[in-house]
Chains A and B, each alone.
Chain A
Amino acid sequence: MINALPERELFAPGHTACAGCAAPMVARTILKVGGPDTIVCNATGCMEVFTTPYPRTSWEVPWIHSAFENAAAVASGVDRALKKLGTRDNTNLVVLGGDGGTFDIGFGALSGALERGHKFTYVCYDNEAYMNTGIQRSGATPKYANTTTTPAGKKIHGKSEFTKQLPFIVAAHGAYVATANIAFLQDFANKLKKSFAFNGPSYIQVFAPCPTGWYHPTDQTVEIAKLAFKTNVFPLYEIENGVLTLNRKPPQQVPVEDYLLKQGRFKHLTKEEIAEIQQHVNSDWERLVKLEESKLKIF
């Protein structure tokens, strides 16, 4: 299936990502689909650090980074500048940020840019915490996960809250929204293609495990990403013109325990906590199935 992607590599090797990091797969796929007529606006984060240690760079397309919370605003400026220069139609404009830069600190700038309707593809590579600064909790961190700011202590057992439902918040702005997973790159590529053709803002949230922050073996990144799909922890769906479609359903749902216990960040979980997570995953999944069946225009 992956053979269907262009052979040309525009994301150069030699970067300094951790072994087993999913983020380079995200960048590589974006550039394979986007091709040389792509401009990338990157938020501060692992991706920016490991790809651009001056004077080296992994980016064979124009790439700009300035701050943590402003990537969508920078892209707004690039979008309108290209329009002014008369080159807007030919260029795929990609905004790239981690979940911290997207869910939390960059949320205002993202919302503003979505509301203004800039044509760009915002890709959030979601590794469920602020990994670059040392595994601090973000709005995307799942409940009970052990992070450096939500340690699994004797009194408080990891993070106390469930994840912010950002794809739905983005969809409420009228954007094309999709979730993707590094274990299913063709699906991600299809969604990127769709977003580049969409005449408005798009948002793709890609599930991207982080061995360093999730405490799993570096050769298990794709396996864990697959399990996130099989357990319905991270479902694959699109919200297009306000209507939700589940792109792919696991033939048989695997218990969340199989996913959780492969990761050190969940090793402290009690049976009750695992049961609570299972219940939450089930109820989210049922909601998605119902929404799809209803064909309701949610937004």
Chain B
Amino acid sequence: MSLPRCSLHLLVLTGALALTACGSDGGAEQSRFQPEIITHFADDVVVPTYQQLATRLATLDSAVAALSAGPTSAQLTAAQEAWIAARAPWEQSEGFLFGPVDSFGYDPALDSWPVNRTDLDAVLASNDAFTPEYVRNLQETQKGFHTVEYLLFGEGRTKKVEDLTQRQLDYLKALATELKSVSAALASEWSQSVEGRPPYRDVLASAGQAGNTAYPSVQAAAQEMVGGIINILDEVANGKIADPYDAKDPQLVESQFAYNSLKDFTDNLRSVENVYLGRLPGATPKGPSLADFVKGERPELDTRIRQELTAAIDALGRIPEPFRDAITDPAAAGEIEAAQAAIRKAQNTFESDVKPLIQ
């Protein structure tokens, strides 16, 4: 049933296809996209982001253990701050949500929403012992970042240390320990050989080399980088902001208990910056980046991208927190829509101008 090649060619030529520059498949022209950009992205952005997540969730675990052992206001504040600090690398990882994070269920284990309050209340009301095995068997929706957030901050960020029962403290402690362990496993999958699997960093960094079936070309890995950027920009403007804003439903707002929503969104944009610039905030790039490639192709485009990302972050900064209240406040509507527009503008630039450069 194979279609003869000549008719295939005709089929495509008569179809509504744009014929553009050569890709790598036929090897007719080598892309100027250096493989080192991928290696540095893996080593200087992905791996350190996950390591920072593991470190900060270990800190959260310690802070929650201290809170549980002798609850004071200061310790509750310390645990809340540790939660907010751990949230940043997770949100900064959402520009590259591929690889082991889904294979091994780490994403839902860390970041499931909504909080399953029915079962959470039932578990807290029970006499069940919160052993590691017991907690491992619970649904993701009654653990992870947002259940910890719900318990640490409460509805409307009203939690006081005297509100916390010992039962809740014990449960928090068990959840924080599991978060620590999940994030350590996620970081290991990228940086170490686990159960015979090579570090996933190697899979990405060896894009285009013989035997790499996940990324048979450097272009495929470059597309993965840009696809991740476009995906998270779309998600922030058209999902994380649009869903609750359009529905005027605070229940749909991410990180609503900690009033951390806008910081989450901002860290998502930082994630884009990190991928584009090939470094974490405050660090100096150690090698060629996607930005360098774009600059080499079209210098004015690189300038525009940097400006648009900065403008999008600034626009988010002008929305008043808590975001869960801002979505129903007519006075904030202008700022919310301006932020969406700024993020969509950057998304459109990556979609229309950057993607064609790496086809």
Do A and B originate from a single complex?
no
A residues neighboring B (CB under 8 Å) = none
B residues neighboring A (CB under 8 Å) = none
